[in-house]
Every structure is written in structure tokens, then in C-alpha cells.
Chains A and B, each alone.
Chain A
Amino acid sequence: MFSLAPAIVFFPLLGFLFLGLLGPRLKNERLVGIVGSGTVGLSFLVATAIFIEMLGLPPEQRKEIIQLFAWIGTFTGTSASMNVSVAYQIDQLSIVMTLIVTGVGFLIHVYSIGYMHGDPGFWRFFTYLNLFIFAMLNLVLADNFLLMFLGWEGVGLCSYLLIGFWYDRKFETGGYAPGTAYTGDAAKKAFIVNRIGDFGFLLGMFLIYVQFESLNFDTVFGRAAVLNVGGEVMMWMTLLLFIGATGKSAQIPLFVWLPDAMAGPTPVSALIHAATMVTAGVYMVARCSILFALAPATLQIVAVIGALTAIMAATIGLVQNDIKKVLAYSTISQLGYMFLAMGVAAFGAGIFHVMTHAFFKALLFLGSGAVIHAMHEEQDIQKMGGLKKYMPTTYKTFLIGAIAIAGIPPFAGFFSKDEILWKAFSSEYGSVLLWALAVLGAGITAFYMFRLTILTFEGEERFDHRHVHPHEAPQSMTIPLIILAGLSIVGGFVGIPESLLGGNALEHWLEPIFAPALSKLRVVPHHVEITEYVLMVLSVGIALAGIYGARRVYLRRQELSALWQQKYARIYKILWNKYYVDEAYDALFVRPAVRLSNSLLWKGLDVAVIDRMVNGTATAVAWCAFWIRRVQTGVAQMYATVLVGGIVVILFWLMIK
């Protein structure tokens, strides 16, 4: 059954080829939709079958590498030879990721059939989506860094293509970029910021090759397992990899692209910028856990960056009025929690949160898509309100998602978030400060999520009834919502901690993957403590307080919100402007780069040096070509003469030298 793994990858590829080649001729939206989502659905079925088989096997037999073909090789088998195969690694970690990618991906594909109905680029949309799934599956299933990198770049490309899917539409930058911006600009921003991270990943990969003389996971991790903790090389290697992760997973300092990425169609935001692609960085850190375990300093950095990102993005989310922007910052914040988990060596908890987050965040995004659809492309929550009357299903599912992300038991978010909070507190690599930041972030999360829910669905109707007639979304959209809502409720049960008499099944499932790293870090499982219950109650309390606060401010005493805005005008302004990060980058990097380019690089270096070099080369080439062409007279005798000249040179070389 494991040997079927390549099929998981190839169904979306087939879909991509079919739609990409025949797309323009397929007039039938239904066929495009069925092929587009069907291929992903088939992948999901195969992945499920493999998963079920894996469940029946003892842990040591759950890993298998399926070799497809040798890809880049150097033939002779010296120790420094590089041999990279196209091979897929099926194990506990990759199957979990595959199930998330194909399962949630399938639902979002189905949703898109309704969402993209009537769009002239319908086939193009599904082509890109299938390509994305293909690239993402290569990323999570690869058995070596190079193939993983190929997937990594592939999802980046798809993200670029899909953010700019409506490349001629304008989009709201939030004021930092003067002039009109098109969604194509947002796509470019995402691509460029990601390139910075990718460069880090690439350098990290070079360092891995230099250090371990291989790019295969098995070989690298095997050789790493015998090294001692510490060392500068390992620190740089993991730092570079982490820079790659911050780019793809939108962490400080490279998070700025994700809010703008909301310019893409909403299913894209749900699939790529919430559920799957942005968690690639988390997956990469988890996959390389043994490397990070050798560099505890990097782990500390990861934890701090994660916690800071979590709280920073959450505070920005407090004041945003664009429904998708709020969700985008919430995604950044939740990704921060995942990295916090990685940093405190709670790898299993991090992956657990990847999973639950995929459920509820995809749900929230798809719900927001339904709202945007119903409101005729309106995204400003100030102009919504009272929608629950018109779209009850969307409201209910959205509410479930909000409760889940707020961390109220027994919804999915509670178990995963609480696990991270507890590990942040109790782990040798955690601290009270990290925990406090995270708990504060959780409270804020609950507050802004309910602010969003209330402003959108409850209270008075603030939209213009003459132009806007809200309506419930079609079934192809609501059914995925309902399924995801169900998953958001029960999804957490696979990881009920021992303190709540659960088996913590997911963590035990992943244990063999992280065991080498954990033993390197000397992390031992804790026993159930009374502190755990105290903290648990505390975090739930704070979340409930956040929800209560939101209800109070936005439902009962609406004047409070305006009042606070005036009272804390300065803080509000900072949050509204997202801590001026975009402006700071603009001032620090973009403008100096532009200025430098305009003055020194363009007029000085480019025109004076490079252009001259290029033009000089071109002139030299043209000059050479001119003279060589002079020899190319067309007269055969001349040719024979050159031939004899060549013979003389060769004989001279052979005889004299």
C-alpha cells in the first residue's frame, strides 16, 4: 500500500496537465471543477488508505521511502558524491501533513467551484490550484532537501500566480504605498519577500551539504544524530533554515507579505495562506528537528520570534476593519504559536496546532469568502452587521471557528493551543515570560475574533439595502463549511492530554520522528502536575474574558469602542498602521535601495560601469563576430586554409609543448 504513495502526488499533476493543456477549450465549468477537485480527492483517498494501513503497523514499520528514480547524480561513489533521487518518504509526520493538504485542499477545491462560478479564468484557477497541491505534496513527501526545495519554490510560484490571479484589480494597501496598487503588486511583494527567505534556505542547504555531504534526510539526520550539541556550524545552518521558514511562514521579520496576499481570491487565502503553504516553515523545522536540537541557541531564537510574532500580529488584528486582513493577522499570530512550540522543543504540539489551525482557519476564511460573496465583494466589516439573519449556516460555522481559535474547550483549538502554552511554561527551553506573552496573545485573539464575528453577523445592519442583498451561499460552498466546522469541533480529540485523561494520541504517533531530537535535548516527559490544571483554567478564563469583552464593547456599549479610540489614540494609530513595519521597511530598505539605485547604482554603477561592460562586451562580441565573419568569406579555398592553420596549431601543440 505504501508503494502507492507516488499516486498521491501524481493525481494533482495529472489534473494540472489536463486542465492546463485543455483548459482553454473546456467550456464546461462542471467538468473543470470535477477534474480539479476530483484529482485532489483521489489523492486524499490514497493518503487515507495508507494512513489506515499505517495504523495497523508497529511504529518501526511505519516509515518507508519509495524511490522513483535517480535524479541528479555523480555516478562514482566517493564519499563526496551527490546523489539525489526523486523519492517520497512516507512516515508518521509526512502522512499527517499529506492528509491535511489533500483533505482540506479537497474541501477548498469543492468550495471554489461555487466561489469562482462564472469567472472567465475558471480553468486557470483550478490549474494553478492543482499545481499548488502537487508542489505542496512534493514539499511534505520529499525524502531529500533538494526535492523539498523544489516543492518549496513551486508553492511560492503558485502563491504568486494566485495572489495576482485578478492581476488587473486594484487593492487596498493600507496607505503605505503611494499611488495605485494592483493585486499583481501584492503578488510581487509576496514573491520578493519570500525570495529573501528562500535564499536563507538555499544557503542553509549548501551548509548542510558541506557539513554532511548529502542532501538525503536519512543520511543527514543519521550523521547529525552522532554529533554533539552546540557548535557554530549547526547554529548558522539552523538559523539560515529558520530564515527560510520565517519567509514562507510569515514570521518576524518577513511577515509583511501575508496581509497583502489577501488580494488573491478567498479560497486561495484559505488554502495557501492559512491552511497549508504557510505551515511549510513549521513542517520544515519539525522535519529538521534533530538539526535544531543540535543548536539550542537557535531554538531559543525560534521561540522568542514565535512568541513575539504571536502577540504582535494579534494586537494588529484588534483594530483592522478588513475581514480578510483580520484573519491574515490572526494567521500570522497562530503561526507564531506553532514556532513557539518548535522553539520550546514541543514539536508534536506544533504539528498538532498545524492540523487544528488548518481546520478552523480554513473554515474562517471560507466563511469570510461566503460573506464577501454575499456582500458583493465588500470586505469592510464596518459596512456589515446583522448578517446571521440572511446566512445562518455561514454564521453558525463561522462562530464555531471563532470559538475554536479562541481556545474554548472542547473545540479543536483549545487542545492544541493549551498544549503549546503548557510546554512554553514547563519545558526546559520555555519560560514564564514566553508563557505570559502567549497567554496574553490568546486573550487578545479571543477578543478580536469575536469583534470580527459580532461586527459581521450581529448587531444592526450597516450595509446599504438598496444595493446589497445578502443571501446564503450555494451548497457547494456551505457543505465544505459544515464539514470543516465539524472538524473544528472534534479535531482536537486526537490530542487530548493525559491530564484530561486523554491518550495524547497524535503526540505519541509522532514520537518516533522527534525522539532523536528530544533525546539530544534531554527532554523527558512530564508527569501530570497540579500547575497544569491551574494554567489551563487560567488560559480558558482569559479567553472567556476576551469573548466577554468583545461582546460587551461591540454589542452592548458600542460607544466604548469610539471612546477608547480617542482615549488611546496613539496606541490605536500604531496598531492601525501595523507598527509601521511596512513604512519602516520602506524607509530602511526600499527607499534607500531605490535612492541608491537611482543615484549610485543606476547612473553610477549601471550606466557607467555595467552598461559599459555589457555594451563593451556586446561591442567586443560584435567586433569578434565581424572579424570571424570576415574569415567566413564563402570561398572554399579560404576554408581549407583555416583548416590547415588549425592542423598546424594542433601539431605544434602536440610536438613542441
Chain B
Amino acid sequence: METLVADIWRSTPLVLLTLVGLIALLVEGSGKGRAAAVYWISLVGTIASFVLSFLSLNTEEAAFNDMILQGGYAAFFGMIFTASAFGTLILSRSYLRRLHTERGEFYVLIVFAAIGMMLMASAIDLIILFLGIEVMSICLYVLVGFLRTKLTANESALKYFLLGAFTTGFLLYGIALIYGTVGSTSFRAISAAFPAVSNQPLFLLGAAMLVIAFSFKVAAVPFHMWAPDVYEGAPTPITAFMSTGTKAAAFAAFVGVFLGAFQIAGSKLSEVIALAAAASMIIGNVVAISQSNLKRMLAYSSIAHAGYMLSGISAANREGETGILFYLATYTLMNLGAFGVLSWVEQKDDTKLTFDDYAGFSAQQPFLAALLSIFLFSLAGIPPFAGFFGKYYVFLAAVKADLTWLAIIGVLTSVVSVYYYLRLVMMMYFQPGGATVEEPPAQMAFIAVTCAAILVVLFGIYPSLIVDLTKEFLNI
């Protein structure tokens, strides 16, 4: 009994968020018109979980019979997930109210998806990892298709579900094969057995299956095909959630398995991941150029960013780990912000989402245009914004791991990316036109996005705010 209580106590961020989710569900079920209450409960829950995660950063402990790790990088990821869920909740509220489709379940599902993500980051056992992925994915399948009357939403939800289910099969198959060779699903046991089994075909096959499953979730080439369609069809706040929280969760799994349980530095697995990284950077950036829909453009850009981060995984060193953590934290901020501004300009019938719809935006909405520009500059990796240091760290990691070619591809494709990011900035500032927002953004959403912009600048000037946090639990 004491261990159970202690275990629950250790995993408060997770347990608390689960409780909040259940309470929100009860409230939603208790009557009609409870959406606002559900929203506030969820919001408070994510904030509380964020704070608890932050407090547990420096205490790293395993709980529940070596199934879950609390504190340390799990807590760091927990902060990213809860922050992402928090931002998504705020953006969703004004978005749904504008569409007159506000329902409490939407918020509850976001909370449960965040729980799934936290489970993925905390997992130190492949079974728990699987559980987390499923909890997250099932919520997302529903969220993507939440606007039932919209045809594109149905289409993207179905595609996401079919392909997602397909890759879940690979994940399970991979777990089974690894269990078959190692005899355990625990990270600790796998890590201990790794030197002995790392060259066995069955084990490699299993590991490759995991690469495939995780790459699907981070939308890395060639498992990226779903991303543009799904990102386009989903409600914009959910697109933001998927490109930040989900991506971060999948990278948490990548870090946990490939940098924690395996030691892939210099191995064939690292080569495979490097290949996927290179392909993602090239295809993501190149295809993004030819997009006219901004949500699709950001979808391809998110594929490219997955590529940048994968170079950190493939480097498999301390710089890579810190780089990915830094990258994810800042990428979450800037992508949430960018999608936030997009969701304000967007109109009910899915219009006002192309480059041309932003002509003259700066004249009508100077502040919003400035915010969006900050996010775009940061995504392009231009100092003094946070995106620059994210790229700097992962490329540094690649160079240190003798993957200089990967860093070169990364830098070159970053140059390509400047074209399509700045195209939007150019549209807003140098093209005449009357682009504006239909109604002013909700105050809270506005404040949240402004804070995100401030943080993007702050972390760009003062990167050690995050780096020092990661250093403590990575023992650098």
C-alpha cells in the first residue's frame, strides 16, 4: 500500500491531470451547457500539471514497478505537453465559439491526449509507451474529425486513423520482436542487453519497426504523407496541437528508446535515422515552396523541422539530446503562435488561408503582423529568435557526431525555407491589400500568443534559460 501511495505521489503531474480530465468528463456529463466550466477546469488542470512538472524537474525516480519515470526529462517533456495543451485550449475556445460548435468534449479530449503524451515521455517500458501512444492517438483521431459536418475534416480523420492504425501494427510488431530477442520490454533490460543483441537481425528488424512507427508520428519522410492532408482538414488549433504536442511526444519516445534504451551512436540505426532526417529536410522544405495554402505550407515546414530534430537523434550525443529538448520547447512556442495568428485570420468556410490573403496585413493589424513575423523569422532560424539556437544545437550535434553532411543539408535546406517563410512576411508588409481579422482575437488568446512571442525572443537571446534546465537532469 505504501509503495502504491508513494508511486502516485511521485507521478503527481500525470495523476493530477488524469483526475482533472475525469472531473471534466463528469462535469460535461452532468448537464447541458457545461462547455465553459469544462474549459476552465481543463485550463486549470494543465497549468497545475505544468507547475508540478516544473517542480519535479530535478528529482528523477522510477515508479510503478519500473514502468514509469518521473521527473527529469519526462518532467521537461511534461512541461512542453501541458504548455502545448494550454495554448491549444485557449486557441480552441475562441475558434469553436466563432464556429458556434463549442462542446465540452473537445477540451476533455485535449486533456486526455496530453495525458497520453505524458505517458509516452514517462514510459520506461515499451508496453507503457504503446499505451501512451494509443491514448494520445485515439483522442487525436476524434479531435481531427471533430467538425463532423465538414467534409475535409471527415476525410482527414479517416486517413489519419487508417494510416495511424497501420503503423500501430508496426509498433506492436517491433515491440514483439524486441521482446523476442531481449526477453523483456523494460528499457533497463533492453539497455543492458543492447551490446549483445544489437547486431541480431531480429532485433534490428524490431528496432526498424519502432523507427517506422515513431517516424510516422513525427511526420518524417517517407512516413509523412498523411501530414499535409490531416493538418489541412483538422481544426486549426488541433493542427497546432498536433504539430507541437504530438511531435514533441513522438520525439520523447524517440529520445527515450533510441537514446535511452539503445545506444545507437555510429550504428546502422543511426544511419537509417540520418537518412530519414535528410529526406525530411529536403522534401519538407522543397515541397513547402510550392504550397499556396498556409496550413499545408506549415505542415511541410513541420516535416522539415522533424528532419532537423531527427539529425539530433541520429547524432545520439549530449548536444543532440539538449538540442532536441531546446528545439521542441521553442518550436512549440513558435508554431503555436503562428497557428494562433492563422486561426484568427481564417474564416468560417476555410478561406483566408492562402498567401494572397495576407496582402497588406501589416497596415491593418500592425501588432498581429509583427507577432506572426517574429514566429516566421524564428521558424526560419534567424537570430536573435529562439529558432536559431534550436538549429544551432542540433547541427552542432551532427557535426560532433561526424555527420557533417547532415548538418550541411540542414543548413542548405534552411536557406530554402527562408523563401517560403519570408514570402508571407513580404506579403504582409510589402504587398498592398486589405487583409485583416474578422473580429479581434479573444483577449486571453491574444495575451497567450504575445507571451509566446516574447518567450521566442527571450530564448533567442538567453538560450541558457532552457539549456541550463536540461543540463541539470542530463548530467552534463
Binding site for B on A (CB under 8 A): 69-76, 86, 621-622, 624-626, 628-629, 631-632, 634, 636, 638-640, 642-643, 645-647, 649-651, 653-655, 657
Contacts and interface: CB of A to CB of B under 8 A. Distances in A.
B222 A645 contact: yes
Contacts of B275: 650, 653
A651 B166 CA distance: 17
Contacts of A71: 463-464
Contacts of A632: 225, 228-229, 287
A654 B208 contact: yes
Contact of A649 (B222, B229, B289, B462): B222
Contact of A75 (B155, B211, B225, B318): B318
Given A625-B290, A636-B159, A654-B268, A646 B212 contact: yes
A245 to B, nearest CB: 25
Given A73-B467, A76-B318, A653-B272, 4 more contacts: A86-B462, A621-B290, A632-B228, A650-B275
A646 B222 contact: yes
Counting chain B residues whose Cβ lies within 8 A of the other chain, the interface size class is 35 or more
A628 B268 contact: no
Contact of A643 (B167, B229, B272, B286): B167
Contact of B271 (A621, A622, A653): A653
B163 A634 contact: no
Contact of B201 (A624, A640, A655): A655
Nearest to B216: A643
Contacts of A73: 464, 467
A41 B235 CA distance: 52
Contacts of A622: 289-290
B204 A642 contact: no
Interface in B250-275: 268-269, 271-272, 275
Nearest to B162: A636
Given A69-B462, A71-B464, A643-B216, A628 B286 contact: yes
Contacts, number: 104
A481 B384 CA distance: 39
Contacts of B287: 624-625, 628-629, 632
B152 to A, nearest CB: 10
B163 A75 contact: no
A69 B211 contact: no
Nearest to A77: B476
Residue of A71, A75, A624 with most chain B CB atoms under a 10 A cut-off = A75
B54 interface: no
Interface in B369-395: 389, 392
B145 to A, nearest CB: 14
Contacts of A638: 225
Contacts of B464: 69-71, 73
A42 to B, nearest CB: 22
A643 B223 contact: yes
Contacts of B158: 636
A643 B222 contact: yes
Contact of B166 (A624, A640, A649): A640
A642 B205 contact: no
A629 B222 contact: no
At the interface, is chain B mostly helix, strand, loop or mixed? helix
A643 B166 contact: yes
Q: Which 8 A-B pairs have the closest CB atoms?
A: A646-B222, A639-B225, A625-B290, A70-B464, A69-B464, A636-B159, A625-B287, A654-B204
Interface centre among A626, A651, A657 (most CB of B within 10 A): A651
B143 to A, nearest CB: 19
A71 B272 CA distance: 33
A603 to B, nearest CB: 25
The CB with the most chain A CB atoms within 10 A, among B225, B287, B289, is that of B225
A524 B48 CA distance: 68
Nearest to A635: B159
Contacts of B276: 650
Contact of A629 (B221, B226, B290, B389): B290
A623 to B, nearest CB: 10
Interface in B280-319: 283, 286-287, 289-290, 318-319
Contact of A650 (B167, B272, B467): B272
Nearest to B476: A75
Interface in B412-439: 416
Contacts of A646: 212, 221-223
A646 B212 CA distance: 8
Interface string B145-170: 00000000001001100110011001
B343 interface: no
B322 interface: yes
Interface of B: 155, 158-159, 162-163, 166-167, 170, 201, 204-205, 208, 211-212, 216, 221-223, 225-226, 228-229, 268-269, 271-272, 275-276, 283, 286-287, 289-290, 318-319, 322, 389, 392, 396, 400, 416, 462-465, 467-468, 471, 476
Nearest to B160: A636
Nearest to B222: A646
A642 B268 contact: no
Nearest to A76: B318
Contacts of B416: 621
A70 B326 CA distance: 15
A260 B211 CA distance: 62
Contacts of A625: 286-287, 289-290
A650 B277 CA distance: 13
Contacts of B392: 72
B205 A651 contact: yes
A636 B163 contact: yes
Contact of B229 (A628, A634, A653): A634
Contact of B222 (A76, A642, A651): A642
A638 B275 CA distance: 22
9 contacts: A69-B464, A74-B396, A626-B290, A629-B287, A642-B225, A643-B222, A647-B208, A649-B222, A650-B272
A655 B287 CA distance: 31
A647 B462 contact: no
B262 to A, nearest CB: 13
A642 B163 CA distance: 11
Given A625-B290, A643-B167, A643-B223, A650 B204 contact: no
A646 B201 CA distance: 18
Given A69-B462, A625-B287, A639-B159, A657 B208 contact: no
A222 B205 CA distance: 55
Contacts of A645: 222
A655 B205 CA distance: 8
A418 B464 CA distance: 49
Contact of B212 (A70, A621, A650): A650
B153 to A, nearest CB: 14
A636 to B, nearest CB: 5
A639 B290 contact: no
B163 A643 contact: yes
Nearest to B296: A632
B225 A624 contact: no
Of the listed residues A74, A76, A629, A646, the one surrounded by the most CB atoms of chain B closer than 10 A to its CB is A646
Nearest to B323: A75
A626 B290 CA distance: 8
A654 B272 contact: yes
A254 B287 CA distance: 46
Nearest to B285: A621
Nearest to A645: B222
A131 to B, nearest CB: 14
Which of B205, B268, B290 is most buried by chain A, counting CB atoms within 10 A of its CB? B290
Given A70-B467, A624-B286, A647-B212, A653 B322 contact: no
Contacts of A654: 204-205, 208, 268-269, 272
Contacts of A651: 205, 208
Q: Which of A76, A86, A650, A657 has the most CB of B within 10 A?
A: A650
Nearest to B209: A647
Contacts of B211: 650
Contacts of A69: 462, 464-465
Nearest to B462: A69
